[in-house]
Structure 1
Amino acid sequence: MSSGAEVRIVDQTLADAANALVEKLVGDAAASKLSAGDATLWGPDAEPEASKRLSWVSLHESSRPLVDELAALRRELHDDGVDRVVLAGMGGSSLAPEVICATRSGGPVGGEFPLVVLDTTDPMQVSDALAGDLTRTVLVVSSKSGGTVETDSQRRVFAEVFEANGIDAASRMVVVTDPGTKLGDLARDQGYRKLIEADPGVGGRYSALTAFGLVPSALTGVDIGALLDEAAAAAPELARDSADNPAVVLAAAMAAAHNAGAEKLVLADTGSGLVGFGNWAEQLIAESTGKQGTGLLPVVVEGPDAPGYADHKADATAVSIGPADSGAQVSVTGTLGGQFLLWEHAVALAGRLIGINPFDQPDVESAKQATRDLLASAEGGSGDAGADDAPIVTDGVIEIRAAGDASWLGQPATVIDALQALVNAAPDAGYIAVQAYLDRLDDASFATLRPELAKATGLQTTFGWGPRFLHSTGQYHKGGHQNGVFLQITGSVADDLAIPGQSFSFGTLEHAQARGDAGVLAAAKNGGSPRPVLRLHLADRAAGLVALANAVQAVSR
């Protein structure tokens, strides 16, 4: 495939509806204007933000100097016996490199994945990363703002543990951040191994081909030059004002589906070879479009046989990442670099058609502020940020709680009662968002709750690991279509982990993030009523999963 990207609208009804939008984009010369960095495409209100966020259209060229620079850094580290790469980063700082490394490596190397991604505050997952061979480890500290609390906490604990093991921490730190951040200043002051400043004209979710995506990937041995070549091969096609421009076709399909009430995009991999690509696209789509009460909700499913993909309900569109199968209404194929650029162009153009600014994220800060408030109140002696309100009821190892006005919940006696009340609170064309503030490696089996809930209820169901999803779909939950209900799962912490220089631990921070987001969700209005948020706390994670799985099978719609 010479262009590196191809889109086909399989469903004829959707293709017919998309034709007018394709003609509009072509007539407006939107594709060529986007590729030229025209900030006026989304209207005067969006122009100030867009004018600072369009450097991503030329990253396949502007990121080239990183190829040799990072190859040299990797050689230096290998000469020192350092070949294990741990990435401390959230959202756009971790999603793309995880996909790149998983796709290019072909799987675990020597039983260990080439990139250890820390996008969590779960103390058990952080402890697992610290338990690896530190004599071989380099920590990539990646934060656009330079102040991401999760990333700073991970940096602090790694620095302490490096030193405790007789390893010069500064020599094992590689920092990626925007120019002028406090993290960059710290890297200089502490003499960290390498400071790489990324292009500030790129937002986090469009940063796959910036230093944020390329530094950790290159240090694991990925040929980032080949990745940029793939994007460069796709770029001319994506800039054409033509009805067969794949970005124009995909943007029109997404917008046409949205306008017809199918605001959910169900993404299934059908043999693309791009490992975890849906998780990267999820952030790009949800955070770019989910605002002003509108937008596109990505629902990443386990495969083409998963519930919610091929049943073609009116509120969702099935999109195959890879060759079209019998369930696909839209198929998207191409190389990894080509698909990164294709989806970025298509989502930006879809924003123009839907009528939103794809570069802001007005509802992301609210959950962060709620977390800070909880931590501050605990530090001031007025409470414990990690403590929860008293449960409404306890069913075995599961404590049942709710955030805000829980009139929708009634008086549940069991977890089954509570889950059924949550399902009943969802509108007919709504969705369920499962949010698991747990260890996404050791507690990976909790992800099976997504297909089980979707199968039991017939509702589109998403699954997100907390706090990772706060930097992704969290924007849509608060700013997108107001038809979601939320199942938040937290778990007891057997061995908490202190954060050096902070008054709170990882466990306290994780629970403050969960409570903070639940409070923000419940306070937001949904047609005059609060969003339903069911909080389930597991006194025992393993036993809690079994109980939850059994309870899910007992609910219905």
Structure 2
Amino acid sequence: MATETSVEIADEGLAGEARPLAERLTSDKAASALAAGDATLWGPEAESEASIRLSWTTLHESSRPLLAEIDALRAELHADGVDRVVLAGMGGSSLAPEVIAATAGVPLTVLDTTDPGQVGDALSGDLDRTVLVVSSKSGNTVETDSHRRIFEAAFSANGIDPATRIVVVTDPGSPMETTAREAGYRRVFTADPNVGGRYSALTAFGLVPAGLAGADIAGLLDEAAAAFDLVSADTETNPAIELAAAWAAAHERGAEKLVLADGGSGIPGFGDWAEQLIAESTGKQGIGLLPVVVENPQAPGFADAGRDATTIAVGGVVDGAQLATTGPLGAQFLLWEFATALAGKLLGINPFDQPDVEAAKKAARALLDGPDGGPVVTPALVSGSIEVYASGDWFSAGVGTVAEALRAFVKSAPSTGYLAVQAYLDRLDDASAALLRPELARRTGLQTTFGWGPRFLHSTGQYHKGGHQNGAFLQITGEPEDDLDVPERPYALAGLQRAQALGDGQVLVQHSRPVLRLHLTDRAAGLVELVKAVQDLHEERGGA
């Protein structure tokens, strides 16, 4: 892994276009103002929100007292024979600790799903050795609360006192803090409330689960500290200024998509973390930067990216990359956070709010609270193990196969738009669903994203409604083999998962976006059928 933190703009044209924007940030002393917590950087409308969201710039110092507390708790747990860490968290509460643990090579089971099969797999692990970290900034995240209830019941059923095995990370005064203290849970960590979820990698949300799993979190803070002077300097060679200026310059010329590939960084999963940071921070007011995380630099959408996309390699320059970043994980966290906030200034948006995230949650809740989990929906057609549900005027009555439905769906996307594959499935057992991203990108010529539902709702979900309105959305849902009841709640996980998919689909349709939902009545067979249907597409280009 590279130890030097840097940004290289390999595309000379982009470098030239970025230069005046970098000069503007430098002359405005934007980087040092950001480091000092100046809430006026993004204009008067953003000042109120920014004033309570900027403590992340100095977390490499303010998070130090956590280290001893986490080490002590880990030692206590190991003394009790507890060394398996399961994390229940969504968005910023899971993406950062997952990449920290993966980079450190330590095991961490992450639950950022409502799929009963995936949650069931986590429950089937050795509960005698398990501690559950329940992580929620708001303290009322429905997925995380469901996981807590399910694990609490499972611990009790196995003769284990749940209070000894549950650790909570939340904001001070949240409903989760109240619940945890009343239940006497093993430990409650309250994080800095002046840090938004997607900027919280170096708070308790990132450090507690990763540290309990065995990651070197002190070294992570050291890496960030070493990069701080660099990214807060008011110079055009500041890598955060270079990165922000390049993103904004590309956006000005119509390249609103950032295609991310790993260029040998040694940081597995970094793209997933960066995806939330950038999409949720910039995707609003009908503009923004859409991250497209690809499998490798040779994947469709990277080497063959069009003019509507900018390619970035994390870990060093590779063929086809217009931009490249290097540096260890702690430094990369700070670099990308600074760059995203500075890009927000150049784009004219508030990088700290997420005005469109709640809509899908409200729609899902309405379905859950309705009779029998919402209305019965009739499929437009059934083919083998796949039920086809279509929303929007792009779907015609003459469509008779899944391949024809996909062909019509692809044509509904603008030629410079994008496809979003959203898989409400088990990301372990149904991992082959991720193959749909490169297959669709290769055959359509459209930039294509892939997200596991409902995880992406806490990430790119903001961009889908608030960013450039040129996406077409392919939802994949599946019939579970078994279900899991959520204790003291009138629903089971499968019902929650279904409501989340349908609720988000409703909101997208309200934004006049094409939505195609393919429901797999048999997941294994249905995925095989779906991949074959995708392979029947032949260079289907986006329409007008």
Into which bin does the TM-score normalised by the smaller protein fall? over 0.9
Write out per-residue CA displacement over residues 119-138 of structure 1, whole angstroms, 9 at most, x where no aligned residue: 00000000000000000000
Match among 511, 514, 526 for residue 532 of structure 1: 514
> Pick from 129, 146, 154: which aligns with 2:122?
129
- Asked if residue 265 in structure 1 is aligned to residue 258 in structure 2, the reply is yes
- Give 1:4 deviation, angstroms: 4.5
Task: Return the alpha-carbon distance in structure 2 between the equivalents of residues 375 and 271 of structure 1.
Answer: 44
Deviation at 1:375, TM superposition (A): 0.8
Identity of aligned residues (%): 66
* Equivalent residue runs for 1:423-442 within 5 Å: 423-442=410-429
Classify 1:477/1:63 alpha carbon distance in 2 versus 1 (closer, same or farther; 3 Å): same
One-letter code of the match for 1:384?
G
Separation (CA, whole Å) in 2 of partners of 1:351 and 1:72: 39
- 2:467 is matched with 480
**Number of aligned residue pairs:** 539
Q: Deviation of residue 535 (structure 1)?
A: 0.6
Structure 2: which amino acid aligns with 1:442?
D
Give the SS at the match of 1:46. helix
* Amino acid aligned to 2:373: D
Distance 1:422 1:139 in 2: 41
Tell whether 2:384 aligns with 1:402: no
For 2:86, the equivalent position in structure 1 comes to: 86
- Asked if 1:507 corresponds to 2:500, the answer is no
Q: Is the counterpart of residue 116 in structure 1 residue 103 in structure 2?
A: no
Within 2, Cα distance between the matches of 1:500 and 1:406? 41
Aligned equivalents of 1:62, 1:305: Cα separation in 2: 40
1:177-192 map, 5 Å: 177-192=170-185
- Measure the CA separation in 2 of the matches of 1:429 and 1:388: 35
Following the alignment from structure 2 to structure 1, what is the Cα–Cα distance between the partners of residues 281 and 305?
Answer: 24
Specify whether residues 439 and 3 from structure 1 end up closer, same or farther in structure 2 by C-alpha distance, changes over 3 A only. closer
**1:343-402 superposed Cα distances (whole Å, 9 cap, x missing partner):** 000000000000100000000000000011011112xxxx434x6501011011100002
Cα 1:409–1:261 change in 2 (3 A) is: farther
- RMSD, aligned α-carbons: 1.1
1:497/1:553 CA distance change after superposition, 3 Å: same
Separation of aligned partners in 1, 2:280 and 2:397: 33
Correspondence for 1:109? none
Give, as a single letter, the amino acid of the residue that structure 2 aligns with 1:399. Answer: E
- Aligned-pair CA distance for 1:411: 3.1
Shift of residue 3, structure 1, vs aligned partner: 7.7
In the alignment, the residues of structure 2 paired with residue 535 and residue 363 of structure 1 have an alpha-carbon distance, to the nearest angstrom, of 21
2:30 alignment counterpart? 30
2:7 maps to which residue? Answer: 7
Task: Indicate whether 1:145 and 2:138 are aligned.
Answer: yes
Q: CA distance change for structure 1 residues 419 and 27 in 2, over 3 Å: closer, same or farther?
A: same
Q: Deviations over 1:248-286 (max 9, x none)?
A: 000000000011100000000010000110000000000
* 1:246-265 matches, cutoff 5 A: 246-265=239-258
Letter in 2 for 1:46: A
* Alpha-carbon distance between aligned partners in 2 of 1:489 and 1:519, rounded to the nearest angstrom: 15
Q: Which residue among 524, 532, 536 is the counterpart of 1:542? A: 524
**Letter in structure 1 aligned against 2:535:** Q
Residue in 2 that maps onto 1:337: 330
Matching residue of 1:527: none
SS of 2:373's partner is: coil
Mapped contact 1:122–1:507 kept (Cα < 8 A) = yes
Counterparts of 1:72 and 1:147, CA distance in 2:
28
What residue number does 1:309 align with? Answer: 302
8 A Cα contact 2:394 2:409, kept in partner: no
Alpha-carbon offset, residue 312 of structure 1: 3.5
Segments of structure 1 that go 5 or more residues without pairing to the other structure are 106-112, 525-529
Distance 1:505 1:473 in 2: 26
Q: Which amino acid aligns with 2:74?
A: R
* Distance in 1 (alpha carbons) for counterparts of 2:412 and 2:9: 34
Deviations 1:197-256 (A, max 9, x none): 000000000000000000000101111110000000000011100010000000000000
C-alpha separation between the residues in 1 aligned to 2:3 and 2:428?
36
Does structure 2 retain, via aligned residues, the 8 Å contact 1:4–1:230?
Answer: no
- Runs of 4 or more, structure 1, over 6 Å off, are none
Distance 1:345 1:137 in 2: 36
Q: Deviations over 1:276-300 (max 9, x none)?
A: 1000000000000000000000000
CA distance in 2, matches of 1:2, 1:397: 47
Are 1:289 and 1:476, in contact at CA under 8 Å, matched by a contact in 2? yes
Q: Name 1:17's counterpart in structure 2.
A: 17
How far apart, in 1, do the equivalents of 2:109 and 2:180 lie? 21
Pair 1:156-2:144 in alignment: no
Deviation string 1:7-38 (CA, Å, 9 cap, x unpaired) is 01000000000000000000100000000000
Contact 2:282 / 2:351 at 8 angstroms: preserved in 1? yes
Task: Show the counterpart of 1:43.
Answer: 43
Whole-angstrom CA distance in 2 between matches of 1:239 and 1:319: 22
Partner amino acid, structure 1, of 2:52: K
Of residues 203-212 and 388-397 in structure 1, the stretch that sits farther from structure 2 once superposed is: 388-397
Matched residue SS, 2:320:
coil
